[in-house]
Amino acid sequence: MLLVVLLKWLERNPFLWTTTVSQLVLFITLSANLKWNIIVAQSSHHPLDVPPSILPDSVVAFLVKATSMSLESVQCIWPLLNDIVWDFHPETLCDADLTFLALKTLYPPTNCCENMECSRMSELHKVEACQVVVYTLNGCEPAWVIHLYCKDCHCNYHHNYYVCDGWRTYYKGIPTFLQVSEHCCVEWQLVEICSATNCSMIFMTTFAHEASSVFGDVGWPFSPTLSMVHVWDMFVLLVLLHDHASRDEVLIIPHTGDQRNHFDMAMQEHNEWIVYHGQDEIDHYCDGWMRVYEEDQDGTPELHKSSHLK
């Protein structure tokens, strides 16, 4: 269907006859993948479901280089194909020779401020981009993480969470990629493979050498090194997100301070909740693993090892 549409456009517009169908397909595919980059460059009042009439200069320059089309062709083609691009589902560019392009860009799930105390009604358009390494079951790759900033209430929206007044609030649900440090995002299925030590070792043995050359070619400032710390942080975060999702709650942790201490309060709350409410999955107890908590006169729970349950 797309090919038929493109051929009709070529027939109606003779100045495009020097443009090949493969160039047009690549133009549409790339533009669809860059949709968020196009949106954030528009006025905050521009509706999201309407393609802009003009592309940002940075996107035009990229499309010229990526498609080998002339500047004039790119500028003329966009008004003709922007409706198709806007309805086109982005595809992975695995077959394109675009080593200068970070194929993956992670955006916040919303482009509007969700702070209930904020009066801003329009979309967020103040953008910050951060270079990261994304680790997946199929290897690792350079990527960008996009932050959206609200000038009115100073909330900063990241891919997994938003930050406001020094607190980090995670969005509901379990995203495919979890950001475990400022420059590291991990596909959550990785932690289900094996232990942290083995996960890190197997990943590095399998993918590190090949990935290092790719990262060097694109001049990425971070090396593809998946450490045990990354895996452990990923495991803790995933457990907490699942726990809060099961109770239809959102995870809130401090955003400031050392990374290693960010989850301490949430883990303590998680453990206390299990102490008071138990776990439906656990129907076994013994002296080796059973623990009984009893409250003292002040209502503070104290840990006592069970000695009477068999």
Considering the domain architecture, whether residues 129 and 80 belong to the same structural domain is answered as no
Considering the domain architecture, whether residues 154 and 226 belong to the same structural domain is answered as yes
Mean pLDDT of 258-265: 88
Higher pLDDT, 280 or 293: 293
The residue type at 62: F
Domain span at residue 30 reads 1-99
Higher pLDDT, 19 or 173: 173
Q: Which range scores top for mean pLDDT: 75-84, 113-122, 195-204, 248-257?
A: 248-257
Considering the domain architecture, whether residues 215 and 257 belong to the same structural domain is answered as yes
Considering the domain architecture, whether residues 125 and 273 belong to the same structural domain is answered as yes
Residue 131 lies in a domain: yes
Residue 100 in this model has a pLDDT that exceeds 80? no
104-134: pLDDT as tens digits: 788 898 888 888 888 877 778 777 888 899 9
Considering the domain architecture, whether residues 93 and 125 belong to the same structural domain is answered as no
pTM of the model as a whole:
0.67
Considering the domain architecture, whether residues 186 and 245 belong to the same structural domain is answered as yes
Considering the domain architecture, whether residues 76 and 167 belong to the same structural domain is answered as no
Residue 236 lies in a domain: yes
Considering the domain architecture, whether residues 87 and 145 belong to the same structural domain is answered as no
Alpha helix ranges (H) inside the chain: 2-12, 21-33, 35-39, 57-67, 71-87, 196-217, 228-246, 264-277
Considering the domain architecture, whether residues 155 and 265 belong to the same structural domain is answered as yes
Query: What pLDDT was estimated at residue 254?
Result: 94
- C-alpha to C-alpha distance for 74 and 185, rounded to whole angstroms: 34
Residue 35 lies in a domain: yes
Considering the domain architecture, whether residues 123 and 94 belong to the same structural domain is answered as no
For the chain, what is the domain count? Answer: 2
Are 73 and 112 in contact by the 8 Å Cβ rule? The answer is no
Considering the domain architecture, whether residues 135 and 7 belong to the same structural domain is answered as no
Considering the domain architecture, whether residues 52 and 167 belong to the same structural domain is answered as no
